[in-house]
Chain A
Amino acid sequence: MKKYKIFILLLTFILVQTETQATNDSLLAKPSNGISTGMLFSSNGLGIHLSKTLGQKGICALKLSASYLPYTLNNFVINVDGSNINLNANSSTGFKLKLNGKIELGSANLSAEIHPFKNAFKITAGAALMVSRIDLIATPRDSLKQGDVSLGPDEQGEIFFGLTVPNLCPYLGIGFGRAVPKKRVGLNFEIGSYYIGSPKLAFRTTGMLEPTSSEEKKLNNNLKTYYALPVITLGINIRLSK
């Protein structure tokens, strides 16, 4: 986490310096009006945007963007520490699960960017149609044995774990860089967060793992703290208008 913070601050510093230099060169002389498009590299996926300045002063812009990043988990093994495999003849702590499924990150955003200080610093507010969701099936990795009976992973049951966020979420962020750059190409950086309330958990267990369904409440309680989904975005903007 510490390295992550240092990286963010360093990146911010570089961007601020870049933008400050650009501002010194041309910002005040020429308002950044027009339309731009570009690519987004964000923690919410890869995407594109289409932006248009509002008004003549170039301090406000409307941005339509979309990003998406699917990720497939294939036999990803996790260890669930402290698990109580409640067997008469064989109890142990720790239980290895194989995760299979899909994690999808993405959204379609409509946002407004305001440059309150008339420089590259911006505040972004908007709303997003969220497509982010997690759908995973966890199955035991190892066989279990009781007495003379050994049950393979496929015979023990499954845990279905699904996580969804509301379809429509507000977004607030700040950053540097203009949606419509003054030059042909510009960079911007933004950090913000979607307000997702509490993610909705779908949790279902089958077979021998059915008693684990009592853990749903615990998971829900843990997830209640995730009311916001932070996003860091790095964008490359290409000005379309002259």
Chain B
Amino acid sequence: MKKINVLSVAFLAIAIYMVSMNSGCKLKNPTEGFAITAKADFVTAPSSFKIFDIARNGYNKSLEGINITISGKDAEVVFNSGARRIFTINNGMVNICLRRGTVATLTNPLEFNIEIKADGYLPTIYPVKLTSLEPIDETIYLTNINELPKGADKTKGNTITDSSGTTTGNTIIVLPATSQKTEKAVLEIPTGITMTDKNGGLVTGNISVDILHFTASTGESIKSFGKQSDNVIQDQNGSTLDQSTLVPAGWLNITMTGDGKNVKDFSKPVKALIEIPGNQFNPGTGANYKIGDQVDILSQDKGTKTWVSETQATVQKNLATNKLFVEFDVNHLSTWLAGSMKNKCGSLTIPLSSNFILGMADGTPIEATFMVQYFANMSTTDMLFEIPITQSFFYNASNPVLIVNYEGALPVEVKNGLLSAVVNGSSISQSFASGSRAINTCEIKLNLGTINTSSTFTGNFRAKCISGSTDYATLPNGSTVYYIKESDYQSNSRPANSSNLWSNFSANAATASVNWNTVSLPKTSFSTSTEYRFSVNYENKRYDYLYTMPASIPDDIIVELEIPCN
């Protein structure tokens, strides 16, 4: 018995040894050599902003290396590409990234400002609104005070205040109309006005007056204004108004300094006059400005983004010069604008010449590309700039309208519109015409057309070259195209010779431009969600193509046969 037990123990010992070898000696640690590697992309969604000197029509290298400030509600998620909060102009660009994990959507956009203060330039606050993490490439226009753009002018004057900070005489400073700036501006400083700085201190002595006048008559000048949309406009009580779009007719940038102080307030208003370009469109009336029109007067403190609605002025006419103008009171110093403030945003509907639903099933990806051109005026050809737009959609048969959002405010037109999609492996595209010029819009609606209830559908047959060439062959006129349910085809031994199982039709000759052979077929001849085999005899050879009819038979289908091309 003991002998047997010894044998048993020996078996067990061997087993334990084998198990221990398995679990200890020959086994690798499962995590041996395992290492974590993390990506270094702490920031994402890079975007770039070109810095553009309007007067030089390009970049001014003197701006290189200037520090930029990012401000605004979402500034904390904005970094440079090195994940730092240091921003400079580098090679004529300001590049920004967003903190990883940041989300931007149409309903919850990211908003921040790029603030640029450079010697010799007007301080610029460029508002950025991101509705996605797609990189954006925009241009920030800077106004060089020493090289003002066409449509702008500056002058320097002076007035005298006594020891009580009160003007001792009437001062009129005129910025005349010139060939570069066809509208005049005037600032009149009456006698008896007490001037104080922002702290209420009197400003006495010789007061230097600097005025920049910008008109809306040139694109360059309009660029100085910056973005017209997404403005914050408040009333004089500080309440934000619904309007956020400004369409300027002209504006003045006024500074007064004396005794080392900047004038901020007046005891009584000074008078400003701005002429309005004769062909200036008034968004408020939908026509060009005319006598009696009301113009919104707004002010904006330097270095801020908020406009304050001050008052309204009535358009008058100088009978001697035949020029329209507005006069308004200036009771403090800042930028003063005459123009129109509007709600954003309207909608610009672009009609398509025909339905864009060729063989398209619900959910088909569609891409729309076009240019939005911004104009200085509704009636001129002075295109300021254009922005390319590419937007992807999914076709929705129940609501086949694509809505493209863009920055609105200035008069805009759509150009080079193209819709494209891939249906059944074949690319289809359709251009759409430019819409008429519209103002104060920030979305474009493209109606793709709807599927009608026609009892027939159009079969579009194209003969594609087997070689892979992008040329498409035209089937001979009257070519017979056969079709059969694929299930019937597969379930019959020699369906190709069973002519009674095949249906056929004669395809019309294609037009040379599109190489489509089209034929009208009754919908009742086809079953939905069913695969069909289409076949054509071409130069004594047969070529087949399988096509699955969608769940709902569309008005157009595409069948792309492959044939040799000579």
A residues with a Cβ closer than 8 A to B are: 1, 4-5, 8-9, 12-13, 16, 20, 23-24, 80, 82-89, 95, 97, 117, 119-121, 144, 146-149, 151, 155-157, 159, 173-176, 191-193, 208-212, 214-215, 218-219, 221-223, 225-226, 228, 230
Which A residues are CB-close (under 8 A) to B37?
83-86, 209, 211-212, 214-215
Bound state CA distance, A159 and B36, in angstroms? 10
Contact call A20/B5, Cβ cutoff below 8 A: yes
Bound state CA distance, A222 and B84, in angstroms? 41
Contact call B35/A225, Cβ cutoff below 8 A: no
B1, B15, B22, B41, most chain A CB atoms within 10 A = B15
Which B residues are CB-close (under 8 A) to A218?
32-34
B26, B29, B83, most chain A CB atoms within 10 A = B83
Binary flags per residue of B14-49, CB closer than 8 Å to A gives 1, else 0: 011001101110111111111111111111000000
Contact call A149/B20, Cβ cutoff below 8 A: no
Number of residues on chain B facing chain A (CB within 8 A) = 42
Bound state CA distance, A5 and B12, in angstroms? 12
Which B residues are CB-close (under 8 A) to A87?
38, 40, 42
Knowing A86-B37, A146-B42, say if A20 contacts B19 (CB, 8 Å). no
Which B residues are CB-close (under 8 A) to A20?
1, 5
Contact call B22/A230, Cβ cutoff below 8 A: yes
- B27 touches which one: A83, A148, A192, A226 (CB < 8 A)? A226
Contact call A193/B19, Cβ cutoff below 8 A: yes
Knowing A23-B1, A85-B36, A225-B26, say if A121 contacts B100 (CB, 8 Å). no
Contact call A209/B38, Cβ cutoff below 8 A: yes
5 closest Cβ pairs, A-B complex: A147-B83, A121-B8, A83-B36, A211-B37, A146-B42
Bound state CA distance, A228 and B20, in angstroms? 11
Knowing A12-B9, A174-B11, say if A212 contacts B84 (CB, 8 Å). no
Does B4 sit at the interface, judged by CB under 8 A? yes
Which B residues are CB-close (under 8 A) to A85?
36-38
Bound state CA distance, A226 and B23, in angstroms? 8
Does B85 sit at the interface, judged by CB under 8 A? yes
Which A residues are CB-close (under 8 A) to B468?
none
Closest to B18 in A: A193
Which B residues are CB-close (under 8 A) to A117?
4, 7-8
- B40 touches which one: A146, A174, A192 (CB < 8 A)? A146
A20, A80, A85, A148, most chain B CB atoms within 10 A = A148
Bound state CA distance, A85 and B37, in angstroms? 5
Which B residues are CB-close (under 8 A) to A149?
42-43, 79, 83, 99-100
Contact call A16/B23, Cβ cutoff below 8 A: no
Contact call A82/B35, Cβ cutoff below 8 A: yes
Which B residues are CB-close (under 8 A) to A8?
16, 20
Closest to B8 in A: A121
Does B101 sit at the interface, judged by CB under 8 A? yes
Contact call B9/A16, Cβ cutoff below 8 A: yes
- A24 touches which one: B1, B7, B36, B99 (CB < 8 A)? B1
Contact call A84/B12, Cβ cutoff below 8 A: no
Knowing A83-B35, A148-B84, A174-B15, say if A222 contacts B28 (CB, 8 Å). yes
Closest to B4 in A: A117
A80, A146, A228, most chain B CB atoms within 10 A = A146
Chain B nearest CB: distance from A209 CB in Å?
6
Contact call B79/A147, Cβ cutoff below 8 A: yes
B13, B39, B43, most chain A CB atoms within 10 A = B39
24 A-B interface contacts by CB (under 8 A) = A16-B9, A16-B12, A80-B34, A84-B37, A85-B36, A85-B37, A86-B38, A119-B1, A119-B5, A146-B40, A149-B100, A159-B36, A174-B15, A176-B8, A176-B12, A191-B16, A193-B19, A208-B38, A212-B36, A212-B38, A214-B37, A219-B34, A221-B28, A228-B19
Which A residues are CB-close (under 8 A) to B85?
148
Chain A nearest CB: distance from B340 CB in Å?
42
Which B residues are CB-close (under 8 A) to A208?
38-39, 41, 100
Closest to A138 in B: B36
Bound state CA distance, A146 and B4, in angstroms? 70
Bound state CA distance, A152 and B204, in angstroms? 57
Closest to A145 in B: B42
Binary flags per residue of B71-87, CB closer than 8 Å to A gives 1, else 0: 00000000100111100
- A191 touches which one: B15, B33, B38, B41 (CB < 8 A)? B15
Knowing A88-B82, A117-B4, A151-B101, say if A191 contacts B12 (CB, 8 Å). yes
Which B residues are CB-close (under 8 A) to A225?
26-28
Bound state CA distance, A95 and B23, in angstroms? 27
Bound state CA distance, A173 and B12, in angstroms? 9
Bound state CA distance, A169 and B1, in angstroms? 35
Contact call A84/B35, Cβ cutoff below 8 A: yes
Which B residues are CB-close (under 8 A) to A119?
1, 4-5, 8
Contact call B31/A80, Cβ cutoff below 8 A: yes
Contact call B33/A222, Cβ cutoff below 8 A: yes
Binary flags per residue of B160-178, CB closer than 8 Å to A gives 1, else 0: 0000000000000000000
Which A residues are CB-close (under 8 A) to B15?
173-174, 191-192
- B22 touches which one: A5, A121, A221, A228 (CB < 8 A)? A228
Which A residues are CB-close (under 8 A) to B9?
12-13, 16
Bound state CA distance, A191 and B17, in angstroms? 11
Chain A nearest CB: distance from B217 CB in Å?
45
Which A residues are CB-close (under 8 A) to B5?
16, 20, 119, 121
Contact call A1/B38, Cβ cutoff below 8 A: no
Contact call B34/A5, Cβ cutoff below 8 A: no
Bound state CA distance, A225 and B19, in angstroms? 13
Contact call B30/A219, Cβ cutoff below 8 A: yes
Which B residues are CB-close (under 8 A) to A144?
38, 42
Bound state CA distance, A225 and B26, in angstroms? 8
Closest to A82 in B: B35
Knowing A119-B8, A191-B19, say if A147 contacts B82 (CB, 8 Å). yes
Which A residues are CB-close (under 8 A) to B1?
20, 23-24, 119
Knowing A193-B19, A226-B27, say if A156 contacts B34 (CB, 8 Å). no
Which A residues are CB-close (under 8 A) to B84?
147-148
Chain A nearest CB: distance from B97 CB in Å?
9
Which B residues are CB-close (under 8 A) to A9?
13, 16
Supplied contacts A173-B15, A211-B39, A225-B26, 15 more A-B pairs, CB within 8 Å: A86-B38, A86-B39, A95-B38, A117-B7, A117-B8, A144-B42, A147-B82, A149-B79, A209-B38, A218-B34, A222-B30, A222-B34, A226-B30, A228-B22, A230-B23
Which B residues are CB-close (under 8 A) to A23?
1
Knowing A9-B13, A12-B9, A119-B5, say if A219 contacts B38 (CB, 8 Å). no
Bound state CA distance, A149 and B99, in angstroms? 7
Which A residues are CB-close (under 8 A) to B99?
149
Knowing A117-B4, A149-B83, A155-B101, say if A215 contacts B35 (CB, 8 Å). yes
Binary flags per residue of B54-96, CB closer than 8 Å to A gives 1, else 0: 0000000000000000000000000100111100000000000
Bound state CA distance, A172 and B3, in angstroms? 24
Which B residues are CB-close (under 8 A) to A86?
37-40
Chain B nearest CB: distance from A53 CB in Å?
19
Chain B nearest CB: distance from A11 CB in Å?
10
Which A residues are CB-close (under 8 A) to B28?
221-222, 225
Chain B nearest CB: distance from A51 CB in Å?
20
